Amino acid sequence: MLRSIRAQLSLSIMLILLLTVALISVLSNWIINNEFEDYITRQEHQRSESIVTDLGNRYDSLKGGWDHNLLHTIGMYSLYDGYLLKIYSIDGTLLWDAENHDMSLCGQIMGEISTRMSQAKKHGDFVTNTYDIIRSGTKLGSVSIRYYGPFFFTENDYLFINTLNTVLLAVALLSTGVAVIAGGLLARRITQPVVKTAYIATQIAQGNYNLRFDSTPNAKELEEMGRAMNHLTQALSDQESLRKRLTSDVAHELRTPLSAVGSYLEAMTEGLWEATPERLQSCHEEIKRLGVLVADLERLAKIEDGNLQLNMANTDLFEIVQTAVHNLEPKAMKKELSLFIEGDPVIVEADRERMIQVVMNLLSNAILYTQMHGHIRMKVWKDHQAGLIRVEDDGIGIAEDELPFIFERFYRTDKSRNRKTGGTGIGLTIAKSIVEAHGGKIEVTSAVGMGSCFTVTLPEK
């Protein structure tokens, strides 16, 4: 079974954090407890030594004996601290014994210590160490000290270590909680854009192109992915609307001449209309229009085939422009347009026939979309190892929002459509394909009512 990235990420992040928390808790607990036990053991050893020194200091060397009251005081103090003393004189006589003195108190104190240690889960037993009591190098007697070994906790020690363990446990639990929440949040943050991408992709597959990444994720790669996705959706959406427009355009382009010819012929065969040469001529015109459209489509299909064979040779762009102007001069004269050519010969490697086709396309558009008595300027020049041709008119112009589409097949601006100028909307598509096959580019600037300016750039080689 496949698990979601989010679940896998959350689980991995949580596991790593939990492992870290557990390791830190266990290690710190172990180190602190060990250190504390070492400290207590050292303390207890020192305490035994200080009892022996204390006893030595209490010996009255003038009288050559022990003060029993002092021995009793030291013995009782030690007993309350958990040390049972048996004090002997130099000849081995028992001077003071905690158990003899108060058996039940000894039992109670030892019992308390045993219980505390078993509660703390520290196992040991009572040990007895015997020390000589020595002062200034002379042995004065001996003392045997009995206590819970190797170490024991006083009530305060026990309280301290208990509190410490509780605090450590609380910190571990708190860190675990934070680890779980942080892991979940982090995974969510990483996977959210991925989930959204998948969702948008599914929507695209279902034909919905309106979804976009609105918030940008704050990681570089995810941001790039979001941008790429938005770009893709936009491109697909544009393509889709173009495709719809294209189909309806083909239908529209075919329907008008077909229905005209159809109704003429119907009327003539039914005897409603006489088949005059003018009527037959107009049928012929419509069929010619259809022929042009089909020929344009064929040319486009050939060029976009990808196997466009170019006859590359050294070609003068200025001569190409002159040829195009020569071919279209009659059309321009009909509209009484002024044509200007400017520039010098510029030699580039290109397919002469195809480039004449490109320039004729641009020039015939300029003638078509410029009013009577308008002006068309053409310029040829060289710049940075590239040859450039410009065709500029002061005609109807193209709206800014339509500019990105004019090179798409069948695209005709609303203005040119309204004027019924009769173009097929394929000319610029063909021009662009040819220029790009040469490794060049074609650009346009235009303003409605001011005119348009098309610039073709071709690399020298």
Which of 242, 267 has the CB closer to ligand ADP?
A: 242
Provide the minimum distance between the beta carbon of 411 and ligand ADP in the complex, in angstroms, as a whole number. 6
| Interatomic CA distance for residues 143 and 77, integer angstroms | 15
Q: Is 357 in the site for ligand ADP (CB under 6 A)?
A: no
* Length of the chain in terms of residues written: 461
The C-alpha angle with vertex 246 and arms to 285 and 248, in degrees rounded to 5, equals 70
Measuring CA to CA, which residue among 146, 148, 169 is closest to residue 157? 148
Looking at residues 439 to 458 of the shown chain, list those that interact with ligand ADP (rule: CB under 6 A). 452
Q: Is the preceding omega at residue 459 within 30 degrees of 0, hence cis?
A: no
Q: Binding residue for ligand ADP (CB under 6 A) from 424, 434, 438, 440?
A: 424
Q: Binding residue for ligand ADP (CB under 6 A) from 157, 351, 393, 394?
A: 393
Q: Binding residue for ligand ADP (CB under 6 A) from 412, 440, 456, 458?
A: 412
Which of 395, 440 has the CB closer to ligand ADP?
A: 395
| Interatomic CA distance for residues 75 and 312, integer angstroms | 119
Which of 85, 406 has the CB closer to ligand ADP?
A: 406
Tokens encoding 15 = 């596991």
Q: Is 395 in the site for ligand ADP (CB under 6 A)?
A: yes
Which of 279, 377 has the CB closer to ligand ADP?
A: 377
Which of 157, 253 has the CB closer to ligand ADP?
A: 253
Stretch that binds ligand ADP, among 70-78, 139-147, 326-334, 391-399 (CB under 6 A): 391-399
Beta strands in 121-196 (DSSP E): 125-135, 138-149
Which of 226, 423 has the CB closer to ligand ADP?
A: 423
153 burial type by CB count under 10 A (0-12 exposed, 13-18 middle, 19+ buried): buried
Stretch that binds ligand ADP, among 28-36, 101-109, 118-126, 358-366 (CB under 6 A): 358-366
Stretch that binds ligand ADP, among 119-127, 143-151, 214-222, 417-425 (CB under 6 A): 417-425
| Interatomic CA distance for residues 205 and 421, integer angstroms | 39
Which of 318, 411 has the CB closer to ligand ADP?
A: 411
Stretch that binds ligand ADP, among 145-153, 154-162, 392-400, 435-443 (CB under 6 A): 392-400
Q: Is 396 in the site for ligand ADP (CB under 6 A)?
A: yes
Yes or no: say if 375 and 400 are a contact pair by the CB < 8 Å rule: no
Q: Is 59 in the site for ligand ADP (CB under 6 A)?
A: no
Measuring CA to CA, which residue among 78, 125, 74 is closest to residue 105? 78
**With CB under 6 A, what is the number of residues at the site for ligand ADP?**
22
- How far CA 446 is from CA of 264, 362, 402, in Å, comes to 41, 14, 10
Q: Is 257 in the site for ligand ADP (CB under 6 A)?
A: no
Provide the minimum distance between the beta carbon of 336 and ligand ADP in the complex, in angstroms, as a whole number. 17
Tokens encoding 77 = 């103090």
The C-alpha angle with vertex 219 and arms to 215 and 224, in degrees rounded to 5, equals 70
Strands 338-343 and 375-382: parallel
**Which SS3 state, helix, strand or coil, does residue 159 take?**
helix
Stretch that binds ligand ADP, among 70-78, 158-166, 269-277, 422-430 (CB under 6 A): 422-430
Q: How far is CA 181 from the centre of its chain?
A: 21
Tokens encoding 154 = 């006083």
Provide the minimum distance between the beta carbon of 413 and ligand ADP in the complex, in angstroms, as a whole number. 3
| Interatomic CA distance for residues 444 and 391, integer angstroms | 10
Crossing angle (nearest 10°) for helices 68-81 and 103-119: 30
Residues 6+ apart with CB under 8 A from 248: none
Which of 132, 443 has the CB closer to ligand ADP?
A: 443
Q: Is 233 in the site for ligand ADP (CB under 6 A)?
A: no
Looking at residues 103 to 132 of the shown chain, list those that interact with ligand ADP (rule: CB under 6 A). none
Stretch that binds ligand ADP, among 125-133, 159-167, 381-389, 418-426 (CB under 6 A): 418-426
Provide the minimum distance between the beta carbon of 312 and ligand ADP in the complex, in angstroms, as a whole number. 25
| Interatomic CA distance for residues 321 and 325, integer angstroms | 6
Residue 119 half-sphere exposure toward CB, CA atoms < 13 A: 14
Yes or no: say if 320 and 352 are a contact pair by the CB < 8 Å rule: yes
What is the sign, positive or negative, of the torsion defined by CA atoms of 254, 396, 456, 239?
Answer: negative
Q: Binding residue for ligand ADP (CB under 6 A) from 226, 387, 425, 440?
A: 425
Which of 143, 398 has the CB closer to ligand ADP?
A: 398
Tokens encoding 174 = 């708190």
Stretch that binds ligand ADP, among 65-73, 81-89, 186-194, 410-418 (CB under 6 A): 410-418
Provide the minimum distance between the beta carbon of 426 and ligand ADP in the complex, in angstroms, as a whole number. 6
Provide the minimum distance between the beta carbon of 342 and ligand ADP in the complex, in angstroms, as a whole number. 18
Which of 386, 398 has the CB closer to ligand ADP?
A: 398
Q: Is 328 in the site for ligand ADP (CB under 6 A)?
A: no
Measuring CA to CA, which residue among 20, 19, 28 is closest to residue 167? 28
Task: Return residues touching ligand ADP (CB under 6 A).
Answer: 361, 365-366, 369, 393, 395-398, 406, 411-413, 416, 423-429, 452
